Amino acid sequence: MSQASLLERLSAIVGPDKVSVASAVLESHSTDKWYASHPPDVVVFAESTSDVSAVMKFASEHRIPVTTRGAGYGYVGGCVPLHGGIVLSTARMNRILGIHPEDGVAIVQPGVITGDLQKAANDMGWEYPPDPASLKDCSIGGNIATNAGGPRCLKYGVTRSYVLGLEVVLANGDVLRTGGRLHKNKTGFDLIGAFTGSEGLLGVVTEATLRIIPKPASRAMLAAIFPDFPMAAAAVQAILNSGHLPSALEITDTFTLAAARRKLGPDVFPEGNAHLIVEIDGRPAAVLSELEELHALLLSLGATFIERAPDEASCERIWKLRREFSFSLRDTGLTKLNEDIVVPRSKLVELVNFARGLEAETGIAVACFGHAGDGNIHTNLMVADYQDPVIRTKADAALDLLFKWVLEQGGAITGEHGVGIAKKPWIRQALGETSMATHLALKKALDPQGILNPGKFLDF
């Protein structure tokens, strides 16, 4: 179907103010935060479930590809419309439909920005815990599509732990409701689990009922410097073995610290080759007591410097520095290939040792930092220009070595960002043949024409 015909037909279905073929709009909806790009033929800005349903019925009848897009803050090309067709934007579906502490739920549309939901819940004395680094920009729909995580996954879990109910438009336009306001519900299959993390391949989320929890009354942090990474990694296990369950445990390697010192100033972090953040929360008296215990424990484990953050303002100062790590790596002038691999927590030191060996073997610098508490360490390959074919070939060979090693350790090639396009070459190895076949069977059942987000890891 021609672009002009698509524009005319879709305008008649949802209204001309919701459809665009303007070049600037097509360009801005052709990519995400990864390097890949492909323009759609048309962008539809859905404003309701009925809009989404009507578009999907039309697309199904005419076998037109549909790629759903939230805020566009993915890191693996997950919302790039590789086959053109329709980009179905949920950005205008951005209303918080209700926050209900009496039921412990928030009901939202998919375009709600994660940070906005957190603030609205906080204002009522409640909390929506999932906290991806891009929370000020990413949307709930995107978080559900990738089963997003963040630093506080150690204590509070990932997005799936908070999805109680979903409204989903299927490929043929039918509207499915599964789950709801109940915190316990064992009726039928776990369809919520199937759609959470499905990367837009099985349906379009149009409403989510999310679990919220009472906001902890207090939080505090310790930021420690260790002489080397193995000592910091050993401290992670020692903290947990001592009976503490921090809300976050973040670790940083030598390369990343050096980049941060160059960007922020040499005195921002005292001398040392590893950095560890420990965040705790709870009742005020308990938090202060635990802070003292952890301070003493870190000293006994070899920390050479410890900064205490006993209140919200000082905690936020430390988190602000932590968020600068990624920008510091970008300031090196190299392209950062942000690989969100996961290894068993006992393999942290082995991972960094492997990264140093990979660096020596390939000549590609590797920076490791991230969520030590759950083994989700962002292993960043720093390359000159990933769009240069020669450099890309070399970088992909290095990624192949990294992913193979991770899988051999019982790890995963993605813990937060998803597969998208970036990790598609490794998906069969990561899943295994039987699991891959099961994924394909589910895809075939829910999207028999393969029109939802085509070109991604479940093409058939």
Spans of all domains in the chain: 3-89, 96-214, 218-313
Which pLDDT does position 417 carry in this prediction? 94
Strand order across the 86-89 sheet:
19-20, 42-45, 86-89, 66-69
Query: How high is the pLDDT of residue 298?
Result: 98
| Burial environment of residue 13 by CB neighbours within 10 A (0 to 12, 13 to 18, 19 or more) | middle
Helix 229-241 to helix 348-362 angle (10° resolution) is 160
CATH level 3 topology of 96-214: 3.30.465
**Which tokens in the block code for residue 239?**
């903290």
Task: List strands edge to edge, sheet with 105-108.
Answer: 96-100, 105-108, 204-211, 163-169, 175-179
pLDDT value at residue 183: 95
CATH code assigned to 3-89: 3.30.43.10
What's domain 218-313's architecture?
2-Layer Sandwich (3.30)
Q: What pLDDT does residue 460 have?
A: 54
Residues 210, 216, 219: CA angle, nearest 5 degrees: 130
Spell 266-276 as b/e; 16+ CB within 10 A means b.
eeebeebbbbb
pLDDT by 10s per residue, the chain, length 460: 899 999 999 999 999 999 999 999 999 999 999 989 999 999 999 999 999 999 999 999 999 999 999 999 999 999 999 999 999 999 999 999 999 999 999 999 999 999 999 999 999 999 999 999 889 999 999 999 999 998 999 999 999 999 999 999 999 999 999 999 999 999 999 999 999 999 999 999 999 999 999 999 999 999 999 999 999 999 999 999 999 999 999 999 999 999 999 998 888 889 999 999 999 999 999 999 999 999 999 999 999 999 999 999 999 999 988 888 888 988 888 888 989 999 999 999 999 999 999 999 999 999 999 999 999 999 999 999 888 999 999 999 999 999 999 999 999 999 999 999 999 999 999 999 999 999 999 999 999 999 999 999 988 5
Q: How many CA atoms lie within 13 A of 239 on its CB side?
A: 34
Residue 268 has a pLDDT of: 87
Residue 324, pLDDT score: 87
Whether the model pTM is above 0.85: yes
Contacts of 433 (CB under 8 A, 6+ apart): none
